Amino acid sequence: MNAPPDPSSRVRSLRALIRHHNFRYYVLDDPEVSDAEFDRLFRELQTLEEQHPELDDPESPTHKVGSSWTPEEFVADSLPPVTHRVPMLSLENAMNLEEFAEWLERVRKGLPGEEEVPLSVEYKMDGVAVEVIYEEGVLVEGSTRGDGVTGEEITTNLRTIRTLPPRLTGDSPTRLELRGEVFMPLAEFAAMNASRSAEEGLFANPRNSTAGTLRQLDPRIAASRPLEIVLYGVGVAEGVAEGLDLESQQNLFAALPRWGFRAPSFHRVVTELDEVEAIYHEVELARDGLPFEIDGLVVKVEGGERRRRLGVRSRSPRWAIALKFPPRQETTRLEAVEWQIGRTGALTPVAHLAPVVLSGVTVSRATLHNPKEIERKGVLIGDRVLVQRAGDVIPEVVKAIEEGRDGSETPVELPERCPSCDEPIWYPEEEIVPTCQNIHCPAQIRGRLRHFASRRALDIDGLGAKLIDQLVDREIVRKPSELYLLEAETLADLDRMAEKSATNLILAIDETRDRPVARLLHAIGIRHVGETVARLLIEQFRDLDVLAVAKPEEMVEIDGIGPEIAATVADFFAREENRTELAALKAAGLRWREEGPPHAPPGDVSDDVSDDGERPLAGMTVVLTGTLPTWTRDEAKAQVIAAGGKITGSVSKKTALVVAGENAGSKLEKARSLGVEVVDEVGLRKILEGEHPSST
């Protein structure tokens, strides 16, 4: 007879597992399980702790927000810690309407004597929780929620969000600490993914890409991505107009537009359970038509006095709850795996599924990413699999459900030859993606042409996938430069083409000759070179001919360009066939260089910087760290670049100068350990003026 399971062992296991998944979600922005799966684990731990109070522990994840690691583990080296004056608590979850009804009953018991309790109902945005602080109406700090007590300072990246005002208007408080959610609208997220190469990889979903963007060191990356923000709560408000209770969502949402913020797009105040139920069903039906991700509703008790009477737990307030929608995952059967070849020869497995309705859409195909993922997930043909829509954009196979196997399942076979050109497939040991090495492979040619003509590359209006297929199949066009040799008469002979449409396409191709050079560099299709990397390279080198002979060590001096990207770019320009194609594009009259000196980030360049050729930071490598008192990070970069310096993101023996501000962190310590000169903003200004101050 088997012994009953040991609850203490299961509790320890669950706590370790939840801490692991919290770290993957909050720190690495790379979750391994779905939200629904995490919620089940969390609920199981809560239940066991309630059933066995002797096992309760104040350090349990059920008593903490977000994570259970120490601030030293939580905060990345490059992002200084921020302590929230008022903790940013998490929300209790109601997984269905029955659980919500139980919560509402507890609220009413906690507010005896009140026949009607006003409830605020809002969207539960699926984004990244942040806090923004305004002093005397000026945005002075922004941070992530982190573990609820300590977050990461992300002020510079938050300042790039166009819906977050840098300065408040109207009767704003003297100090205002607002809580909100940063997110990416779905259409902009899809467009951003469409601009990325297969080697760059697609962002899994809007929430993860938002989290990763907010933790970038270069604010230009954040500025290039479609971040939005919605504010929904107050931590601290000092100097508020008399009688204004900002713990009433109605009052807060009425005040936000007066201060320059965009008000939340959905908000209702009700008092009855059936009203909340009606809103729940209404929003669930409308969910797929919303321009952003939500995963439920947030219901809050209105008014500061009521909230104080109800109080808070260690990790969540008793006066608010998240009413979650059903998870956007389903199970179905994996019927087959098709192997596709991308424009760089990358081999990608695509799962063919028994059709299943997922978030209102019938799904029959999903990505399996790469052979390593198939191996890691242990997926077999014939398996029942868990499928989810990643950010409502790309369906993906999450895992196999091994318990449902009956022995008829078969392994996924890796192809030995390319399905497009029948050449051998290369499986390099150090890479996770096998490739077809034949650059004349028809699938690669189609992919390169589609990328070259895509909206975020050269944007050739009228050159779609079906037309490209005809051009390749008839061997009319095999490389991008040949597009500029096309004649209307040739195009008019193709299917679904006529004289007018052929003429319009020739005009559209001709218009691309004057596209910005960064877009041309992106369109060429160099591995790892998406829009952002292309822009960084052109801002520095200005001319494709100059970039073509640049050494990798010159490229890595650019903040945001790492050794792998630099090596890939140098290798591309070193190949004879690529140089031949580039020469043909140049001969076709495409724009090849940007005018002017290397680009400096936004900010006024000091009039004190010498322009006589003897620039004070000429040839010096400079690192900026921490928050400077008067200059933003971009303005300081502009000063350094204008003075002849090069900005890098890490301190090494090659670093000539570190400019340190408040909360400088580990870069300052490393500079001191290496004996690198360190100055503050005042010291930098003196250097720019030709003086040489003492190090800080």
Q: Which residues are catalytic?
A: 124
CA distance 300 to 464: 49
What sign for the dihedral angle of Cα 163, 166, 170, 172?
Answer: positive
Residue 617's nearest CA partner among 694, 690, 695 is 690
Residue 441's nearest CA partner among 429, 428, 424 is 424
The token duo for 683 is 């010291």
- The sheet with strand 646-648 has its strands ordered as 646-648, 621-625, 657-660, 677-679
What sign for the dihedral angle of Cα 521, 527, 533, 537?
Answer: negative
Strands 646-648 and 621-625: parallel
The torsion defined by the Cα of 284, 288, 292 and 296, in degrees rounded to 10, comes to 20
Axis-axis angle for helices 517-524, 442-453 (nearest 10): 160
The token duo for 335 is 């019927």
Distances (CA, A) of 295 to 131, 263, 280: 21, 20, 11
The HSE-up count of residue 349 (CA atoms within 13 Å, CB side) is 26
DSSP 314: S
Is 351 within 8 Å of 373 (Cβ atoms)?
no
CA distance 141 to 127: 19
Residue 433's nearest CA partner among 521, 512, 527 is 527
Burial 103-115 (b: 16+ CB within 10 A, else e): bbeebeebbeeee
The HSE-up count of residue 247 (CA atoms within 13 Å, CB side) is 13
Identify the bridge partners of residue 134 per DSSP, sorted by sequence position. 139, 176
DSSP 76: -
Residue whose entry in the numeric block shows the structure tokens 């004879």: 576
CA distance 81 to 109: 39
Where is 473: in which H helix or E strand?
A: helix 465-473
Is 269 within 8 Å of 210 (Cβ atoms)?
no
DSSP 244: -
Alpha helices in 128-248, H assignment, sequence order? 155-158, 186-194, 206-214, 219-223
The rounded Cα 459 to chain-centroid distance in angstroms is: 24
Distances (CA, A) of 284 to 217, 356, 661: 37, 19, 47
Residue type, 401: I
Q: C-alpha angle with apex 224: 218 to 225, nearest 5 degrees?
A: 105
Non-local CB neighbours of 674 within 8 Å, separated by 6+ positions: 651, 652, 653, 655
The token duo for 281 is 């069903």
The token duo for 546 is 């100059």
CA distance 696 to 694: 7
Q: Tell me the CA end-to-end span of the chain in Å, nearest whole number.
A: 72
> What three-state secondary structure class fits 636?
helix
Is 435 within 8 Å of 425 (Cβ atoms)?
yes
CA distance 194 to 208: 16
